């Protein structure tokens, strides 16, 4: 086995992008109440605070009495703003030198376009018409085919007539999931072309110059557990490719934090996957070639960002995609210094080691996802299956998908991968609705086929049915309407269960890791498209919704869902990770479109009561 045991130390480019959030001064409490203009107490209103000159934003929500309670924060001058759907954003600046009580009154928005602009993407999509079979069909095409390289909220915030939408669709039918125009000879998405005229007419009815056919529904603001959380978001540098010592692009006017500005255009080049170490610092992968960053490290207290680099032969930083944390608190990731390999980052020393699969074995590849199984072995995606790495022996084992990479129906490339508590591996062939299993005891691969969405199969016209059944270019960006689209997955390390996020099916697949028995659990709303799944120690299933500004928690014992709103717009989250330590759960997500890292901390009723006791 060829190994690059390069004890590649982090780049010395430790760029400070935020002022210290702490310091010698004592932490203070910020609290207050939110009411409407008429004096009504408003529950579930998001209140955010950002210290002047800092890159760290803290966000909380009001309780049933309309009161909010921030965790202790360093004294200083803070920009504070409150926002809720249907109301104008209210802003103020406060000097925090002791406990501060700051009240806000929110005025209702009366202009329909202003109300629309602040909506999260999933509410825009939910409002698209679907009363007839034709509308339901074309809405499914939009949600499946028009979200490969951007959140649906970005195009839907604009208005175009039918000719304008047709021009946009003609461009996007040749743009791959990277969002980068490939040139004049680019391959056309036949599914988009097949539906182009109907799609342009449909979008013009919904988001054109005339009367809209969209039907909007209000939704309740966060309550209970979802209203007790604290969000901490860290701004990241936008363009590490600009050159050593350069932060690159200027600070954007819209970074997603003010909902009234709508969904931002994509900012910067980071982050893709992320996680938190045992000291609370946040790490993320950079999936774009650049000069500085393979992995970024964010100091949770100061917001300082440090670049950790693996060199490519051309001097650029090797890009990374997937990331997972092991039992020692170290991170494993895929890295491409020439051949896609496995990297290990020791968080205490910041030493990086790189391991390559043998020449006769597939490299890491596909949409690389990594996981640590119940035996401490590392599982990672390979283009045609999955590989397992033993950190003790430093040996790789590979498993091949039964359905080939070059399937007659399209690409059988691996998407997500996970390891179960018995040491077996699992992976998804997203385009083929297939889950592979690598049995470590027998060395053999088996597979589980997910059921097609019968409702969608029954709804399409005979002409469309014939087209889709003969379509042979399936990929994870061009599914047929009845595809489940299994993406990234997570296993319950305390039970024999694999949970898979089905992006196109808007569902979870629950697979018994012993028997392969499979059940499908739909999300509460078909506009929710899960990307990655993580399971906590209480068997709760967590998923990021990459076309929605929310993350979801599903309790299998009760069948109950809890939805947690993100504090920014147009997030495009591709990864979710958990840290359960000292009785506190922290959820880390990379906010891809807005170039931020987000950490959501769950607070108990007792935590809130303790803060109330301090300020009253």
Q: How confident is the model at residue 249 (pLDDT cuts 50, 70, 90)?
A: low
Question: Which tens digits make up the pLDDT trace of 47-62?
Answer: 999 999 999 999 999 9
Distance CA 291, CA 316 (A): 5
pLDDT for res 495: 98
pLDDT for res 4: 39
Q: How far is CA 251 from CA 48, 55, 236, 254, in A?
A: 19, 11, 10, 9
CATH architecture of 27-110: Sandwich (2.60)
Q: How confident is the model over 123-140, as a mean pLDDT? A: 96
Distance CA 515, CA 536 (A): 22
Helix (H) or strand (E) holding 172, with range, is helix 162-172
- Quick one: CA dihedral 254, 256, 259, 265, positive or negative? positive
pLDDT for residue 594 is more than 80:
yes
| Mean model confidence pLDDT for the chain | 92
- Which of 243-247, 356-360, 556-560 bottoms out in mean pLDDT, i.e. has the lowest? 243-247
Return the axis-axis angle of helices 133-145 and 196-206, rounded to nearest 10°.
Answer: 100
pLDDT for residue 205 is more than 70:
yes
Q: How confident is the model over 282-292, as a mean pLDDT? A: 91
Question: Which tens digits make up the pLDDT trace of 408-463?
Answer: 999 999 999 999 999 999 999 999 999 999 999 999 999 999 999 999 999 999 99
So where are the chain's domains? 27-110, 129-206
Q: How confident is the model at residue 269 (pLDDT cuts 50, 70, 90)?
A: confident
Question: Which tens digits make up the pLDDT trace of 339-368?
Answer: 999 999 999 999 999 999 999 999 999 999
- Is the CB of residue 289 less than 8 Å from the CB of residue 338? no
**Residue 283: CA count within 13 A, CB half-sphere:** 31
How much of the chain exceeds pLDDT 70, in percent? 94
Q: How far is CA 297 from CA 36, 331, 597, in A?
A: 41, 11, 10
Tokens of 355: 């391991």
Question: Which tens digits make up the pLDDT trace of 369-381?
Answer: 999 999 999 999 9
Nearest residue to 107 (alpha-carbon basis) of 124, 129, 84: 84
């Amino acid at each position: 086995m060829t190994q690059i045991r390069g004890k590649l130390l982090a780049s010395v480019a430790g760029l400070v992008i935020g002022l210290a959030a702490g310091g010698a001064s004592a932490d203070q409490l910020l609290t207050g109440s939110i009411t409407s203009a008429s004096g009504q107490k408003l529950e579930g209103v998001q209140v955010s605070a950002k210290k002047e000159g800092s890159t760290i934003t803290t966000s909380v929500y009001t309780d049933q009495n309309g009161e909010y309670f921030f965790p202790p924060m360093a004294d200083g001058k803070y920009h504070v703003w409150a926002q809720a759907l249907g109301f104008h954003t209210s802003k103020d600046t406060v000097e925090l030198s002791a406990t501060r009580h700051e009240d806000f009154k929110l005025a209702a928005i009366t202009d329909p376009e202003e109300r629309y602009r602040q909506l999260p993407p999933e509410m825009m999509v939910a409002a698209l018409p679907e009363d007839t079979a034709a509308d339901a069909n074309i809405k499914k095409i939009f949600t499946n085919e028009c979200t490969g390289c951007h959140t649906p909220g970005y195009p839907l915030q604009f208005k175009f007539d039918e000719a304008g939408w047709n021009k946009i669709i003609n461009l996007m039918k040749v743009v791959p999931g990277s969002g980068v125009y490939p040139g004049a000879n680019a391959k056309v998405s036949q599914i988009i072309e097949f539906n182009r005229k109907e799609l342009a007419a449909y979008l013009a009815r919904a988001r054109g110059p005339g009367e809209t056919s969209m039907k909007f529904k209000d939704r309740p603001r966060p309550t209970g557990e979802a209203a007790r959380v604290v969000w901490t978001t860290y701004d990241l540098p936008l363009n590490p490719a600009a050159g050593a010592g350069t932060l690159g692009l200027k600070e954007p006017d819209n970074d997603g934090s003010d909902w009234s500005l709508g969904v931002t255009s994509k900012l910067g080049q980071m982050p893709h996957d992320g996680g938190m170490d045992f000291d609370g610092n946040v790490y993320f992968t950079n999936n774009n070639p650049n000069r500085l960053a393979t992995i970024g490290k964010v100091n949770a207290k100061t917001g300082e960002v440090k670049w950790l680099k693996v060199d490519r032969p051309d001097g650029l930083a090797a890009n990374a995609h997937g990331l997972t944390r092991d039992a020692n608190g170290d991170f494993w990731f895929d890295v491409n210094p020439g051949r896609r390999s496995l990297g290990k980052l020791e968080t205490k020393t910041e030493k990086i080691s790189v391991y390559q699969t043998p020449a006769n074995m597939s490299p890491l590849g596909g949409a690389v996802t990594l996981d640590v199984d119940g035996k401490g072995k590392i599982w990672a995606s390979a283009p045609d299956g999955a590989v397992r790495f033993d950190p003790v022996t430093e040996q790789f084992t590979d498993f091949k998908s039964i359905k080939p990479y070059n399937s007659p129906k399209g690409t059988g490339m691996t998407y997500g991968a996970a390891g179960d508590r018995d040491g077996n591996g699992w992976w998804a062939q997203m385009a083929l609705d297939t889950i592979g299993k690598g049995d470590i005891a027998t060395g053999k691969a088996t597979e589980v086929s997910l059921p097609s969405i019968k409702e969608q199969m029954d709804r399409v016209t005979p002409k469309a049915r014939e087209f889709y059944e003969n379509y042979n270019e399936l990929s994870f960006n061009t599914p047929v309407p009845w595809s489940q689209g299994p993406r990234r997955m997570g296993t319950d390390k305390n039970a024999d269960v694999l949970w898979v996020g089905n992006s196109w099916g808007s569902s979870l697949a629950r697979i018994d890791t012993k028997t392969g028995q499979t059940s499908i659990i739909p999300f509460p709303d078909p506009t929710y498209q899960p990307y990655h799944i993580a399971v906590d120690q209480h068997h709760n299933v967590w998923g990021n919704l990459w076309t929605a500004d929310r993350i979801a928690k599903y309790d299998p014992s009760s069948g109950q869902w809890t939805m947690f709103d993100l504090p920014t717009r147009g997030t495009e989250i591709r990864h979710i990770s958990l840290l359960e330590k000292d009785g506190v759960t922290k959820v880390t997500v990379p906010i891809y479109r807005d170039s931020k890292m987000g950490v959501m901390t769950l607070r108990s009723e007792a935590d809130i009561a303790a803060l109330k006791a301090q300020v009253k």
